[in-house]
Structure 1
């Protein structure tokens, strides 16, 4: 727990230093803030050693009361948990290790963590060449890789992916009848109660030391999320190794109620949270309904960048990941924990407090963490805070900004920046009682690769498998979702699903189109949409003769006032 006092004297001092004309916009008085970050010490997964018969799988279901079955031994769960290994360099080198949960044995479908199987690296290149699936034939036995799998459906915003085992490992195509692991029995994740005991299953080790493992844990709370109805997160009192990413959380009665996920897969970091099983039900049903030949079409885009500042003197922190900050108008305090609700990017004016939270992965203990508040571009020193991090390498921080005066939190653009050891890692915007600016995207520039600093690299090439479109943007702090579409010679070849906008207010972003085979010659067009509204588009002619634009005029981006031959329906 932590707290801070915002005294009038400090507010006045900050006023003199920072902005003498913003007296009315500073919050005087005293405010307190508390953190619900969970300490690191946690159960260590232990090998499963007692084999028992497997409970017959049931249908996917998320409604109704949970089964009141007898407590099942650990081995009953282990048969439905598999290891996922991402292989690179000709399928000879393991680059990621994690777990998966079999959700449909007849169709060989496996639910897992999208960060684990994300097909792309931050530079847009492929992260791996093969996804291998293995498991221990008997509890305590070493893992044997038996299958190769491909992504059939995914929801990156919810950290979920469904794989289908498509062939034997380095062998022939797989008949569904040859897939032996049984499916889990789904429970009602909405009925899991705080402090309820759970069992967490996955493959905790790597390589030859990997083994089906279990860790006892309890639910310490749930979190919601903007755009998600009901529960979006389970927070656990256990800290687990990265190999458990994609594993399952089960009740004592044997029901699967949650999928373990990292914020970003990191072999050196731990995890302490899960996505409720109910959140995955629509994705699983979509995978079940899909034709066996259907594969997920990934849509590469720039990874959320650190927000660069001129006064940032610290080194880059690639192992530190922060999801958020997210803002809410209300919260409930119970059992020493604060749970936010009414999440929004556009709080109403007059609120007595502005609540916020962020999840942090990979911050080393002893690091200096700063929360800097900025109102309409002016740093509010008196409202900002710093503290020494003691929460381990995964925690959820919940806090509030209090307005003791009757008029409430002043209106304007509030920015919260989270700094770690002098480096800006994440920021979030809340528009209190005011409309966000109009998002504007600039001209598109095409390339086939990224340069060393993330700039456009090699020119677009019909023999390449990627086409990247770079654009500058401003006023995008109020954008909720972004998507793009790709045309070749007037024909739609790919539509990226709307995803949460991660680019902040301004900067440079890129999106892309990837395919296994070369792009080929033709006129390619990419159109960008913010919240379903056209923002920018441009086209480029690829010629087989020289691998680039036919001429300067054809290579130049089209005028941004021209609408492409496609209009998307608005997205939430």
Structure 2
């Protein structure tokens, strides 16, 4: 395979993190192009000097290939810990399902944790119960809940639940058990499973021993028994615009079905929810959503009296770009940037996250998540400055991992005390295709975005165009829009008006569509839309960008 960046090859080390206890080195390769391509970016001369990427420490952690399954009743947390068998009763299987013509089809399979027995509330991962398909249509009609009442038995479908609360940004969802499985009501006294105790995840730090509980999924059409894995927290992750940490990293590797399951401290109190950055059946789970994020959603759900309405928007784009992803099982998160990091053994935690830096820092740290990337895939990190390719700062490496991993490094300009001012874009390519991108604004101000309406419908094509029209019997309406100059945008939200009356306010969500392209947002009714005029007032970074009309005949 020819080198993707130029012809003069140079080996540069970088660090990559796989969760585990074994360390190894992953070489990267960087290629230098002619210095003339770099004069606008780096005030230095000589290909050797400007072409040298400043790397991290080259350490990689690797986990064992199979999860350790403990017999219920063992107590790794110590003599005073709540036994595994007791905690196991509060861990359920969560399976969104679509019923069509009397036939039920499972859309996804995950786990959940009972956190309020009186109100029948279950915490899970929002990615597991995402309510809409890629085209904007409903993904399921009910959520099956299977329980594990015997210590070593397979889960049994017992109940159906509704999505009653969620925070799409943090990735937390709350379910409420509403019915017996296949019935229209809940039998009195049947939901008698215990709730877990809630712990304080704010004190969780690297080195804390935890127990992970979740259902791996199905085998030969049958649900697998509960998996219990003792592991250790090895670090944290954050996100731009979020004050607190958003992820806890562990050295575990568990099947996708455990997403939504629980992480418990040595005493047996819940401190986190297992989750993926994006639900992917072929990828593994290794991270936790801290309980402090879940408590906010849980408290809000308990106080809410109105029926929950999920935000419906384009979610199947390449992260950081309004374009459909390649048709395979690989997924890469949009890179995030930080100006500082803490190194602890093989783990590095970024902090001071951001995308806009008023002053030029000495270096930019960055990280991104890989899910479902096959071993041996070539990963490329392509840098550009103000749309000029910086090939000598770009690099590639061969992924030697398994289902999930976090990659990261530190980018600096040789011969300079600070990063050159401008728009630094980082593109992540895998298997020869663009997978994700993000831009850091260093000492410059992003452009103001512009939005124009681009039609309406009830479903969307993979390239974000109207598919089926919105009619009176449709249950959702989508508004499409073209945009430019949005590379520096951070948030998106919208209001929905029907006959000049506000009927829905979306949560404030992350902008994830890049600089220019087409996207869509929408409104999901609790029944048929009915005829009339809908309007969607679209906001980017809190400013009104456009009013998108939807006329339903």
Give the TM bin, normalised by the shorter chain: 0.7 to 0.9
* SS state at 2:34 partner: helix
Call closer, same or farther: CA 1:325–1:307 in 2, change over 3 Å: closer
Q: How far apart in 2 are the matches of 1:50 and 1:307?
A: 43
**1:538/1:73 Cα in 2 relative to 1: closer, same or farther (>3 Å)?**
closer
Aligned 8 A contact 1:151 1:295 in 2: no
Q: Which residue of 2 aligns with 1:260?
A: 274
Instruction: For residue 306 of structure 1, report the CA deviation from its aligned partner.
Output: 2.5
CA contact (8 A) 2:165 2:297 kept: yes
Counting only pairs closer than 5 Å after superposition, residues 363-512 of structure 1 correspond to structure 2 as 363-451=373-461, 453-512=463-522
Q: Which residue of 2 aligns with 1:547?
A: none
Contact 2:29 2:396 in 1 (8 A): no
User: Which of residues 7, 20, 24 is equivalent to 2:43?
Assistant: 24
The answer for the alignment partner of 2:166 in structure 1 is 154
List per-residue Cα deviations over 1:340-386 (Å, max 9, x = no partner).
11101112433111111111111111000000001000110000000
Quote the residue 1:44 is aligned against.
67
Q: 1:296 and 2:308 equivalent?
A: yes
The corresponding residue for 2:335 is: 325
Structure 2's unaligned 5+ residue stretches are: 1-14, 16-25
Deviation, 1:234, is 0.9
Of Structure 1 and Structure 2, the greater strand share is in 2
Contact 1:106 1:177 in 2 (8 A): no
Alignment check: 8 A CA contact 2:319 2:512 kept: no
Change (3 A) 1:318 1:518: same
Matched with 1:247 is 261
Cα 1:209/1:282, change in 2 over 3 Å: closer
* Residue 192, structure 1, aligned to residue 215, structure 2: no
Distance 2:79 2:239 in 1: 32
Residue 15 (1) aligns with residue 29 (2): no
1:37 deviates by 5.5
TM-score when normalising by structure 2: 0.88
1:227 aligns with: 241
Partner of 1:106: 118
Two-structure CA RMSD over aligned residues (Å)? 2.6
Partners of 2:147 and 2:74 in 1: how far apart?
14
Structure 1 residues 261-285: Cα deviation after superposition (integer angstroms, max 9, x where no partner): 0122222221111111111111111
Partner of 1:125: 137
The structural deviation recorded for 1:299 is 1.8
Distance of 1:243 and 1:422 partners within structure 2: 29
Mapped contact 2:209–2:265 kept (Cα < 8 A): yes
Runs of 4+ in 1 over 6 A off after TM superposition: none
The size of the alignment, in residue pairs, is 519
Q: Is the 8 A contact 2:42 2:420 kept in 1?
A: no
* Aligned-partner Cα distance in 2 for 1:374–1:397: 19
Task: Classify 1:315/1:475 alpha carbon distance in 2 versus 1 (closer, same or farther; 3 Å).
Answer: closer
Q: In 2, Cα distance between the equivalents of 1:242 and 1:23? A: 44
Aligned ranges for residues 21-100 of structure 1 at < 5 Å?
24=43, 28=50, 30-34=52-56, 38-46=61-69, 48-50=71-73, 70-90=80-100, 92-100=104-112
Residue matched to 2:9? none
Distance 1:403 1:5, change over 3 A: farther
Q: Matches of 1:269 and 1:518 in 2, distance apart?
A: 36
CA distance in 1, matches of 2:247, 2:99: 35
TM-score between the two structures when normalised by the length of structure 1: 0.85
Q: 1:68 to 1:282 in 2, by over 3 A?
A: farther
User: Offset of 1:155 from its aligned partner?
Assistant: 0.5
